[in-house]
Amino acid sequence: MRDFSQESGTHKSVSTKENILGVTRDDLSTFFTEHGGSSFHAKEVMEAIYRQNIRCFSQIDSITEKYRELLIEHFVIELPQIVKVQGSEDTTRKYLFQLHDGRYIESVLIPATPLEDGTRSERMTVCVSSQVGCAYGCKFCASGLDGLTRNLSTAEIISQLVAIQEHSRKTVTNVVFMGMGEPLANFKNLNKALDIIVGHWGLHLAPRSVTVSTSGLVPMIRKLAEREQQVSLAISLHGATNEVRDKIMPVNSKWDVDELFDALHYFASTNKQRITLEYILIQGINDALEQANILAQKAKKLGGFVNLIPYNTVEGLEWERPSDEHCKLFRDTVKATGVMTTMRLEKGHDIDAACGQLRLKEMKKTAES
Ligand code: SAH
Ligand code: SF4
């Protein structure tokens, strides 16, 4: 990991200066205007950070020294510390990061899977975290086991992407908010991060390549639908009826399946981007074929996609994945209705294990030492 500490505080320190990775071009224009500069300076700084990958303000030579000093006085470029990288080049790579306050978060880099002829697309997906822990306590999930510690700042969201690009030397093409936390419970910081991710002056990803996943925070789904620059939506559904969803997702007692689908239809009516219904298959809990049929009907009406995920076992939780045969039967039942359905049946669960597990292991190690 390169050290960017030379000019304005180290990336490990708690700095009082603002991390520029959480700042939009408009915010920076306002800042420069208030300090005798103009939007030109903001444009040049964004260009230096996101196009030229400059990590020291003193190296931005398209602005004069006066404005470089101004930046050094008010901002830092701060990346989280990489504690561990699991996996190897060309495979899924899990990053464990430590934040300035010692908390851990995880992100995952997922390259495109090779095609039959051995080639692969340039797609590089990063799964990012939006909070430390999660308040929503879904019964199957490692991220919610200890509740919520805190929201991530916009800069902490963006810096996961920047740090992974730097470490892997790959350009990120897709982002999914499927790491730790409930992104829609951190809406303000998420919203700004989305502006930076899709901004043509920022990371410049296509809106359809950015997916926010939620367990179903209905009012926030509506707010997300109203964003000017639209993004794709994934819903952690995991139960097609209240009876099943109530058993595993406490959020369903606040906004039930009908309210959730009302919000999804609103999203679909105001948005061109796709909606994916995520459905973990957990043995004996939500894997009855009746659920497959109801799920398919709902997806069809919505014009959504279905992504089936055979459950990844979590240390300390008793849930299990159904047999491969049953998973395929469930998939074929949904597919038979004409709904676009995907499912991945990988062998080991180690690296692909649900987000939250690396962090749990690291916290346990710290507690034991
Ligand atoms: N809080 C948001 C974003 C996190 S996404 C949400 O729930 O959508 C994390 C995804 O991983 C969710 O779809 C979640 O349901 C899924 N997940 C959690 N634990 C899992 C496990 N043990 N096996 C497979 N998927 C899991
Ligand atoms: Fe939180 Fe999502 Fe995990 Fe539920 S599935 S506990 S909402 S991170």
pLDDT in tens, 59-85: 999 999 999 999 999 999 999 999 999
Strand bridging mode 104-111 / 124-127 = antiparallel
Residue 348 has pLDDT above 70, yes or no: no
Task: Report percent pLDDT > 90 for the chain.
Answer: 78
Question: 248 CB under 6 A from ligand 1?
Answer: no
Query: Over 70: is that where the pLDDT of 5 sits?
Result: no
Ligand nearest to the CA of 343: 1
278 C-alpha to center of ligand 2: Å? 12
Catalytic residue among 78, 106, 156, 278: 106
Task: State the closest ligand 1 atom to the C-alpha of 176, by its place in the atom list counted from 1.
Answer: 5
Mean pLDDT of 229-236: 95
- Which of these is catalytic: 127, 134, 327, 355? 355
Active site residue 355: yes
What 3-state class would DSSP assign to 342? strand
178 versus 2: the higher-pLDDT residue is: 178
The pLDDT assigned to 273 comes to: 83
Tell me the HSE value of 338 on the side-chain side, using a 13 A CA sphere. Answer: 5
Decide whether 2-78 matches 80-368 in CATH topology.
no
CATH ID of 2-78, from 3.40.50.300, 3.90.1150.10, 2.130.10.10, 1.10.150.530: 1.10.150.530
- What is the C-alpha to C-alpha distance for residues 108 and 115, in angstroms, rounded to an integer? 21
Comparing C-alpha atoms, which of 238, 222, 234 is closest to residue 276? 234
Q: Find the mean pLDDT for residues 143-149.
A: 88
Q: Which two tokens stand for residue 44?
A: 């040049």
Distance of CA 108 to the CA centre of its chain: 9
Give the start-to-end residue ranges of the domains of the chain. Answer: 2-78, 80-368
* Residue 195 CB less than 6 A away from ligand 1: no
Q: How many CB atoms lie within 10 A of CB 177?
A: 26
pLDDT tens figures, 239-281 = 999 999 999 999 999 999 999 999 999 999 998 888 999 999 9
Q: Helix or strand or coil: residue 90?
A: coil
Averaged pLDDT, 192-219: 97
**Sign of the Cα pseudo-torsion (102, 130, 162, 355, in order):** positive
pLDDT of residue 119: 72
What angle, rounded to 10 degrees, do the helices at 218-225 and 257-270 form?
Answer: 0
CA 39 to chain centre: 30
Q: Global pTM?
A: 0.91
Instruction: Find out whether the beta carbon of 130 lies less than 6 Å from any atom of ligand 2.
Output: no
Angstrom distances, CA of residue 196 to CA of 17, 65, 103, 145, 321: 19, 26, 24, 30, 37
Mean pLDDT within 325-331: 97
Instruction: For 80-368, give the CATH class.
Output: alpha beta
Quickly list DSSP for 209-269.
Answer: GEEEEES--HHHHHHHHT-SS--EEEEE---SSHHHHHHH-GGGGTS-HHHHHHHHHHHHH
Q: Is the CB of 280 under 6 A from ligand 1?
A: yes
Q: How far apart, in whole angstroms, are the C-alpha atoms of residue 296 and residue 294?
A: 5
With a 6 Å cutoff on the Cβ, whether 160 touches ligand 1 is: no
With bands split at pLDDT 50, 70 and 90, how would you rate the model's confidence at 20? very high
Q: H helices within the chain, ranges in order? A: 25-34, 39-46, 65-74, 154-168, 187-198, 218-225, 242-248, 257-270, 289-302, 324-335, 357-368
CA–centroid distance, residue 67 to ligand 1 (Å): 44
